[in-house]
Amino acid sequence: MELLEIVNTKLKEHFAGDIESAEQLYDYPVFTVNKDKIHDVLKFLKEDETLNFHFLTDLCGMQTADEKQLGVIYHLHNMPKNYRIRLKTFFDINKPEVATATDLWPSANWMERETYDFFGVKFKGHPNLKRILNVDEMDIFPLRKEYPLEDQGRTDKNDSMFGR
């Protein structure tokens, strides 16, 4: 809980209006950041001397439950102090554009390509944004919810059959 406050005060100081939410989810402080400011926030978190989030643990995409928005999720780590935080940013599915983090961490390169491959998020400024795990000819973004694997609303198996 302390870490949430430390990071939140720092972020509020510099990006007052752009931090949309700050909460503690299980063992992780989670911040939702305005998508136009995500690069500045990441840069600040990386370069600030006390916070020093120098390690990009993970970067992945997601789609919100209403299927109208896409999101990118960053897991950052400060190894000397063992601080771990999660950042999220959401944007409209019809205009999926967000700034790249490849200039801050070279490791973001393939993770962003993977996110593009599966969700179609366009990372502005990425040096080589093309598909990585799927074939180049693919014309869909398979992890989006509009491509279900199988009928999601199976009604043949529900609890009422067991009398509850």
Residues that bind other proteins (CB under 8 A): 25-28, 30, 54-58, 60, 62-63, 65, 73, 75, 79, 82, 84, 86, 105-107, 109-111, 114, 118, 132-135, 142-143, 148-150, 157, 159, 162
DSSP E strand boundaries for the chain: 19-25, 28-33, 55-63, 69-78, 83-92, 97-99, 122-124
- Residue by residue, DSSP assigns 98-124 as EE--TTT-TTHHHHHHHHHHHH--EEE
Q: Which residues sit opposite 17 in a β-bridge?
A: none
Query: Nearest approach, Cβ of 20 to other proteins (angstroms)?
Result: 16
What are the backbone angles phi and psi of residue 115, rounded to the nearest 5°? -65, -40
Cα torsion angle, 109, 83, 31, 54, sign: negative
